[in-house]
Amino acid sequence: MLLPILLLSAAGFTVLTTEFVIVGLLPSIARDLQVSVSQAGLLVTLFAFTVAAFGPFLTAYFARFPRKQLFISVLLMFGLANTLAALAPNIWVMALARLVPALGLPVFWALASETAVDIVGPDHAGRAIAKIGFGIVCATVFGIPVGTLIADAFGWRSAFGILALVAFAKALLLWVYLPKTRPHNPQASLRAQFRILRSPLMQGHVLLSILVFSGMFTAYTYLADILERLAGFDGTLVGWCLMGFGAVGLIGNSLGGRAVDRHPLIASMVFCALMIGGMLALVPSIDSTLGLAAAMGVWGVTQAAMFLVSHVRLIKAAPQAPAFAASLNIAGANLGIGLGAMVGGRVIDTLGLGSLGMAASAFILLSIALALLLMNLKTPPACASVNAPGA
């Protein structure tokens, strides 16, 4: 059963790469479609806001459908959307090409782990979920730099064209090798799951994800532009810098996994504090190779750690409804990604690229303050009988 799990992991890589690859392509897209970088950045906002607005509801609705047909349909949709992006003649067609896959991403992400467990059985659930998670981590770590390198060599449209071909190929492989599994009967109604949001603690945890991802993507959305315009790097060098940023993220993923099991909120505060240091040091170190590498290294490690910490933190905060809590984190994170891209674009237009680190750090400081507040909140009655560290 290893092959179907690996194929789901690979499909997850394609799905998440479709969301994040555009970050490294914004300068090229802006030039070709004759819009500003901040206007092109709204494509990131559109994708993220769509996931945030519709993710939990679409996941709940499509959970009743057979998984094999559902995942194949999602990948076919991603293939068609990426084809449209590769051919987009203007920003409006590009926006449509970004809107469509945003509807499928949360459905795939939320249900892939459950399907992996169905395939291998509960005795091997941990290893199956870890393999699915590895595909997602690799997308957040390597999807952007690989896309940037492809775009520099062959043009940004080729990056979307290759993603389209990969999506179609993986849909075919899932059709051949993914076994059929029956959808689960939900343990609780949608209304019962939404009831956990009545808790101020859960509301605070969702808000914390929004603030953290707003801070990260206020600056990260425009990192390629910073390296091009402020550091003077060409497209190839930008791609390799983003690759290094992603590579050290594997260290952050490992550190985050260990820290979040000890105390999710303390882990959030520690990684956020270190992230502020990396963000603020980036622009002052732009002319120093060693200083720039150190700043990007700290930022890359902590950002990757926070992807994992945020996801696990929400699940631990609602052990009675972990799948729904995970969907809330997906929604909150994408709302933050969209807000961050929007705020970052506004900062560029008004204060310049050099001010992005300060604006991003303001969001991260707010998240640290909120985490301190959440540590002082009592566990709600619904969770009181469950051992949920960091809740």
Q: What is the pLDDT of residues 98-141, one digit of tens each?
A: 999 999 988 887 777 667 767 766 555 556 666 776 777 777 67
Helices and strands, number each (H, E), in the chain: 16, 0
Q: Write the DSSP assignment of 21-76 as a string of letters.
A: GGGGGHHHHHHHHT--HHHHHHHHHHHHHHHHHHHHHHHHHHTTS-HHHHHHHHHH
Task: Please check the confidence at residue 377 and state whether its pLDDT lies above 80.
Answer: no
Neighbours of 216 (CB within 10 A): 27
pLDDT, residue 128, reads 62
Q: Are 76 and 125 in contact (CB under 8 A)?
A: no
Task: Please check the confidence at residue 32 and state whether its pLDDT lies above 80.
Answer: yes
The string of pLDDT tens digits covering residues 178-196 is 887 666 555 455 666 677 7
Q: Are 260 and 308 in contact (CB under 8 A)?
A: yes
pLDDT, residue 183, reads 60
Task: Please check the confidence at residue 177 and state whether its pLDDT lies above 80.
Answer: yes
Domain co-membership, 174 together with 202: no
Report residue 223: phi and psi, to 5°. -60, -40
| Helix then strand then coil, % of the chain, to nearest 5 | 85, 0, 15
Task: Please check the confidence at residue 175 and state whether its pLDDT lies above 80.
Answer: yes
List CB contacts of 258: < 8 A, sequence separation 6 or more: none
pLDDT, residue 256, reads 83
pLDDT, residue 381, reads 43
pLDDT, residue 248, reads 87
Structure tokens at 21: 């690859």
Domain co-membership, 212 together with 167: no
Task: Please check the confidence at residue 266 and state whether its pLDDT lies above 70.
Answer: yes
Domain range for 208? 195-378
CATH number at residue 86: 1.20.1250.20
Banded model confidence at residue 387, pLDDT cuts 50, 70, 90: very low
Domain co-membership, 102 together with 235: no
Q: State how many domains the chain has.
A: 2
Q: Render the burial of 16-38: b for 16+ CB within 10 Å, e for the rest.
A: bbbbbbbbbbbbbbbebbebebb
Question: How far apart are the C-alpha atoms of 223 and 110, rounded to whole Å?
Answer: 28
pLDDT, residue 380, reads 47
Specify the higher pLDDT residue, 309 or 2.
309
Residue 150 domain flag = yes
pLDDT, residue 55, reads 82
Residue 139 domain flag = yes
Residue 144 domain flag = yes
Residue 327 domain flag = yes
Domain co-membership, 206 together with 133: no
Specify the higher pLDDT residue, 70 or 20.
70
Q: Which of 143, 178, 213 delimits the end of a domain?
A: 178
Query: Among candidates 89, 100, 102, which has minimal Cα distance to 35?
Result: 89
Residue with the two structure tokens 């060098």: 237
Domain co-membership, 334 together with 280: yes
The string of pLDDT tens digits covering residues 331-347 is 898 899 889 988 999 99
Residue 206 domain flag = yes
Domain co-membership, 267 together with 364: yes
Question: How far apart are the C-alpha atoms of 49 and 171, rounded to whole Å?
Answer: 26
Domain co-membership, 208 together with 144: no
